[in-house]
Amino acid sequence: MAIAADKARLAVREATADDIPAIVALSTRVYGEDNGYTQEMLRGQLTQFPQGQFVALYDGRVVGYCATFRASEALVMAPHTWRSITGGGYASRHEAAGDWLYGMEVCVDTAYRGLRIGRRLYDRRKQLCVNLGLRGIVFGGRLPGLARRMKRVGSAQAYVEAVRGGHLRDATLGFQLRNGFEPVGVLEGYLPYDTESLGYAAHMVWRNPKHADHPLVASVQHGGRFHERVRVATVQYQQRRVADFDGFATQVEYFVDVAADYSADFVVFPELFTLQLLSVENAPLSPADSIRSLTGYTQRFCELLTTLALRYNINIIGGSHPTVMDDGDIHNNCYVALRDGSLHVREKLHPTPNERHWWRITGGDSAQVIETDCGPIGIMICYDSEFPELGRHLTDQGALLLFVPFCTDTREGYLRVRYSSQARAIENQSYVVLSGNCGNLPGVNNFDIQYSQSCILTPCDFPFARDGVAADTTPNAEMVAFADLRLDTLIEARANGTVQNLKDRRHDLYSVQWRRKR
């Protein structure tokens, strides 16, 4: 069964003039008829600073809006009101050379607040700040719990400090604190009609950690969207019996939730981890019956990954899942669900002798990177990692991250994958992430024992982990390992590292030529 790549269901992009009526309608739904934006205000914002206005769309419907403009430090750090600093909502005080980004608006349709749209808009705003090389972001943040607690705390400043210290809870201010913003004071009379905040706002600042950039990294940052740091979570998944698909889905969601709670950009599951679904039958199945049973779950499995990626705002590398294709061939497919709602499929190219013998699995014939919001990524499923041509082909397409879902039964088999993946990390100056199974499934043919030690590997040079391992797991124990991977460090190492494997290739002597798909 072939699953084609879907279009993104949830996307964040720059706003255009065509979006104005939908943004007006959104602001009216959120703020009411009297306090929403007019078409004239929005046209002014887009005219002043078009690259600083963003919309979030769900199935083509505008469900979120973010407005910004550039301003000087003298302006944004001085006391001000929302109306005075935004020019009455028109962003007319935009300064093309301003070194701070001012956040004048983030609003989200209340019917879609379970999809972390606010977080996505904040992240896009931060990325714009980084790309432009600005000092940081400033805005006035609402204090919706202030009116109820003013007598208790005595002042708006005391209220902010109480929330910051964890003594009080404020949903809005707490969200901003969790997103890396810090209060530098309070703004009196910021929004006079905001009775919940008594007109006050927290004066919030996020400082760009990359303001003093290395020249090489700056050229990449300023050329477009670029994440210097990507957080990756690899799941060492324990196989155990499940009663039905819902039981399997509960386990998968648990790990996605954990990874998202730690703000991971990617969560990776092992190869063939969906064979756990064969335990539902509670009886040994022949290889043919096993594949037929697994293919019956393909649609539900893909829908599960897509739903979780959207709900938890995370990119999911869905291990692998054997599937009968439309032409009757059986492929070992990796389904990748991105947090924009799109689904991508990558086939294992090199089935092992056991896969060919027992499962009649054949290899795919294409290997393309997947464009994500953290840059292009490559997939190598287990045995694929032992062929250097594939890693080089993916790297030549721009991949900085290579993901290796694997399934090995013995330590020897595991070490083949690990050593090969470490070699791919060194020769391609890339990060390589491994995820494997542990535990066992009695009664499931050809899936009886597992050996794994999932890990996150780096090149071997001074800026990276001492032994080329950013994170490791305990062998054969269910757990999740995390690592923050610096993409800017990777780019700098490729250009100026102690060794420069990519740059120093002898193109005059050899090359990897990928045969065109017929």
Q: What is the DSSP string of 78-140?
A: S---HHHHHTTTT-TT--TT-SEEEEEEEEE-GGGGGG-HHHHHHHHHHHHHHHHT-SEEEEE
Q: Kindly state the helix (H) or strand (E) to which residue 288 belongs, with its residue range.
A: helix 287-295
The structure tokens listed for 489 are 């460090």
**pLDDT band at residue 221 using 50, 70 and 90 as cut-offs:** very low
Mean pLDDT, residues 204-232 taken together: 65
Neighbours of 439 (CB within 10 A): 17
Whether 10-213 and 229-496 share one fold: the answer is no
Structure confidence by residue, pLDDT tens digits, 434-475: 999 999 888 787 777 899 999 999 999 999 999 999 999 999
Task: Tell me, letter by letter, the H, E, C secondary structure of 145-214.
Answer: CHHHHHHHHCCHHHHHHHHHCCCCCCHHHHHHHHCCCEEEEEECCCCCCCHHHCCCEEEEEEECCCCCCC
- Does the structure show a pLDDT above 90 at 382? yes
Is residue 228 pLDDT above 80, yes or no? no
Confidence of residue 108 (pLDDT cuts 50, 70, 90): very high
| Phi and psi at residue 162, to the nearest 5° | -65, -40
Does the pLDDT value for residue 433 go beyond 70?
Answer: yes
CA–CA–CA angle 140, 143, 144 (5° rounding): 135
How much is the mean pLDDT over the chain?
Answer: 91
Is the pLDDT higher at 326 or at 437? 437
Question: What is the model's pLDDT at position 462?
Answer: 93
What does the pLDDT look like over 112-130, one tens digit per residue?
A: 988 999 999 999 999 999 8
pLDDT band at residue 204, thresholds of 50, 70 and 90? Answer: very high
Instruction: Indicate whether 213 pLDDT > 50.
Output: no
402 in Cβ contact with 474 (< 8 Å): no
Average pLDDT over residues 405-423: 97
Q: Give pLDDT, residue 346.
A: 97
| Range from 235-239, 484-488, 511-515 carrying the lowest mean pLDDT | 511-515
The residue ranking higher by pLDDT, 512 or 106, is 106
CB 378 within 8 A of CB 398: no
- CA-closest candidate to residue 27, choices 69, 63, 2: 63
Which helix (DSSP H) or strand (DSSP E) does residue 249 occupy? helix 245-261
Q: Give the residue-averaged pLDDT of 69-95.
A: 93
Q: What's the helix, strand, coil split of the chain in %, to 5?
A: 35, 25, 40
| Spatial contact of 411 and 452, defined as CB atoms under 8 Å apart | no
Q: Which pLDDT value is given to residue 162?
A: 96
Position with higher pLDDT, 289 vs 299? 299
- Average pLDDT (373-377) is 89
**Strand 201-207 vs strand 136-141: parallel, antiparallel, or unpaired?**
antiparallel
pLDDT tens, 339-353? 999 999 999 999 999
pLDDT at 226: 60
pLDDT band at 398 (very low <50, low <70, confident <90, very high): confident
pLDDT over threshold 80, residue 387: yes
Q: In whole angstroms, what is the distance from residue 404 CA to residue 365 CA? A: 18
Pairwise CA distance, residues 249 & 347, whole Å: 23
- Tally of CA atoms within 13 A in the half-sphere of 257 that contains its CB: 6
pLDDT at 1: 58
Tell me what the mean pLDDT of segment 160-175 comes to. Answer: 94
> What's the burial of 254, exposed, middle or buried (CB within 10 Å: 0-12/13-18/19+)?
exposed
Instruction: Place domain 229-496 in its CATH homologous superfamily.
Output: Carbon-nitrogen hydrolase (3.60.110.10)
Instruction: Give the class (CATH, top level) of 10-213.
Output: alpha beta
Report the percent of the chain where pLDDT is more than 90.
72
Q: Residue 480's pLDDT is what?
A: 98
The one-letter amino acid at 272: L
Residue ranges of domains in the chain: 10-213, 229-496
- CA-to-CA distance for 305 and 284, rounded, in angstroms? 27
Q: Are strands 375-379 and 401-405 parallel, antiparallel or unpaired?
A: parallel
Active site residues: 271, 348, 382
